[in-house]
Amino acid sequence: MSFVDIKNVRKSFANVEVLKGVTINVEKGEIVTIIGRSGSGKSTLLRCINGLESIDDGEIRINGEVVHDKATDLRRLREKVGIVFQQFNLFPHMTVEQNITLAPTLTKRVAKGEAARKLAHEVLSRVGLEQKIDAYPEQLSGGQQQRVAIARCLAMGPELMLFDEVTSALDPELVGEVLKVMEDLARQGMTMILVTHEMNFARNVASKIVFMHAGKVHEQGAPAALFANPATPELRNFISSTH
């Protein structure tokens, strides 16, 4: 069994089927990048993996645990499965430290004060922002806010991280600093599933590419093979449109 098993997942909103039998396996330590045009179901799939959206059919298992089983404690599951969105969702009235330590002090029994601040320092050092521990979100650039959002996720000690278009709301010159953090996490062995339009990142960092089209997995495989020799016209057109 893979670390993440997604089997024949279907999901509709009203009468529109967004996921039409999606099957993907992710091994521990793998970096899986999901690519495809807007509306192909990529972000919906990520939200289903984290239990933020229900599914109509199929099964999602994370480390053997069935995500959409009524017996599953979703709050506990989400401690192990972090998700970072394109909007940073930081609390504007809280400092960087307070944003990062809010959840660990509430749910993981990290003691407020010295222990919480030490944790904030640790995760901020992983994203290169230790010096911003006492800043407020409005004092940070978009790239810095996104790196704080990643640090906040890391503070929960996740086993799997989901990234949903995390660079798409950033100015182009700020994209690189966020991608560098994600590359560092990849090198450190974090299991990651990313939805991204950053083709260079997909090509150079991912261990597997999943190309979604019209709610289905159209092609998947190693980046070098998929980019060099797309098997379908849909992937060929998608790649040529991103250059």
**pLDDT tens digits, residue range 152-195?**
999 999 999 999 999 988 888 888 999 999 999 999 999 999 99
- Cα–Cα–Cα angle for 78, 82, 87, rounded to 5 degrees: 120
Q: What is the pLDDT of residues 96-152, one digit of tens each?
A: 999 999 988 888 778 888 888 999 999 999 999 999 999 999 999 999 999 999 999
The pLDDT of residue 172:
85
Half-sphere exposure of 161 (CA within 13 A, CB side): 27
Q: What is the pLDDT of residues 16-44, one digit of tens each?
A: 999 999 999 999 999 999 999 988 999 99
Mean pLDDT of 76-92: 90
The pLDDT of residue 88:
85
Q: Where are the domains of the chain?
A: 4-241
The pLDDT of residue 93:
97
Mean pLDDT of 59-67: 93
The residues, ordered by sequence, that sit 6+ positions from 151 with a Cβ below 8 Å of its Cβ are 100, 120, 123, 124, 126, 127, 129
pTM of the model: 0.93
The pLDDT of residue 73:
87
Q: What is the CATH number of domain 4-241?
A: 3.40.50.300
pLDDT > 70: what percent of the chain?
100
- 243 confidence band (pLDDT: 50, 70, 90): low
Q: Is 15 exposed, middle or buried (0-12, 13-18, 19+ CB in 10 A)?
A: exposed
The pLDDT of residue 66:
92
Q: Is 196 exposed, middle or buried (0-12, 13-18, 19+ CB in 10 A)?
A: buried
